[in-house]
Amino acid sequence: MNYELIDSYPFYVEPFHVDFTGRIFLGVLGNHLLNAAGDHSQRRGWGIGALNETRHTWVLSRLSIEMMEMPRQYEHCEVRTWVESVMKLFTNRNFSILNAEGKPLGYARSVWAMIDLETRKPCDLLTLYDGDILNYVVPEEEGFCPIEGHSRFRFREPQLVRTIDTYYSDVDINGHINSIKYIEHILDLFPRQRFEQQSIRRFEIAYKAESYLGDKLSFYEQIIDDNETDIEVRKNESDVVCQAKVCWR
């Protein structure tokens, strides 16, 4: 492992962080991934705090998680994370999730953009801070992430399956519905039996626009096959907020 470029972020699977099958909630796991990403950036001078000084911030665009096995209650695990590549407007960050014996339980891929806080426009990552971020790219042979890239979503005639109001608990420090809460609300669309009989093999989400406290979120479903469902989330019955894919094992 390249200890200079790949960080390890330990986590413990707390009792209230597991579902009724005793496995960690995917949203909680997603939160650990985002914390690991935040720490990794911060240690290299690219954290939210440092960026704030030049009025920039990271925006999560895509997150795809694929799990062979979900961590169980009371397990000690770790997230490893590194920068896979940097393009002009996006950077790819990968993750692996390991148990206490170092056995990989799953992997994840994410895409991030950097925006200017004043204009809300994306910045050129290759020139920002003199391209410093390129120093943190991990060579492909060292950053092993054997899962597919992000899907392209195509919604034809998805069916409205639920509309919810958003409240205090849904929003983050910026007043936005937080990235993890979308994951929770999307998984809440599935009936109990689904979780009893199957487990999530892969979950993808593409964040398209922000929504805010008080927005109504509508969930549209498009069934791909028995084990795959796409979900589109729209706010106030118009703008697309995010799109997700849930694949069952």
Three-state DSSP at 198 gives coil
Among 3, 15, 152, 238, binds a copy of itself (CB under 8 A): 15
Q: Does 192 bind a copy of itself (CB under 8 A)?
A: yes
Q: Does 210 bind a copy of itself (CB under 8 A)?
A: no
Q: Does 34 bind a copy of itself (CB under 8 A)?
A: yes
CA distance 196 to 134: 44
| Residues from 84 through 143 that contact a copy of itself (CB under 8 A) | none
Nearest approach, Cβ of 124 to a copy of itself (angstroms)? 26
Of 72 and 150, CB closest to a copy of itself: 72
Contacts of 133 (CB under 8 A, 6+ apart): 46, 83, 86, 91, 125
Of 182, 155, 152, nearest in space to 27 by CA: 182
CA distance 22 to 24: 7
Q: Does 195 bind a copy of itself (CB under 8 A)?
A: yes
Q: Does 199 bind a copy of itself (CB under 8 A)?
A: no
Q: Does 14 bind a copy of itself (CB under 8 A)?
A: yes
Distances (CA, A) of 143 to 59, 84, 94, 235: 22, 7, 8, 37
DSSP 57-70: EEEEEEEEEEESSP
Q: What share of the chain is helix, strand, coil (3-state, %, to 5)?
A: 20, 40, 35
**Site mask for a copy of itself (CB under 8 A), range 146-175, x = bound:** ---------------------xxx-xxxxx
Give the interface segment with a copy of itself, choosing from 20-28, 58-66, 83-91, 96-104 (CB under 8 A). Answer: 20-28
Three-state DSSP at 128 gives helix
Chain residues that interact with a copy of itself, rule: CB under 8 A: 14-16, 18-22, 25, 27, 31, 34-35, 38, 48, 73, 167-169, 171-175, 178-180, 184-185, 187-188, 190, 192, 195, 213-214
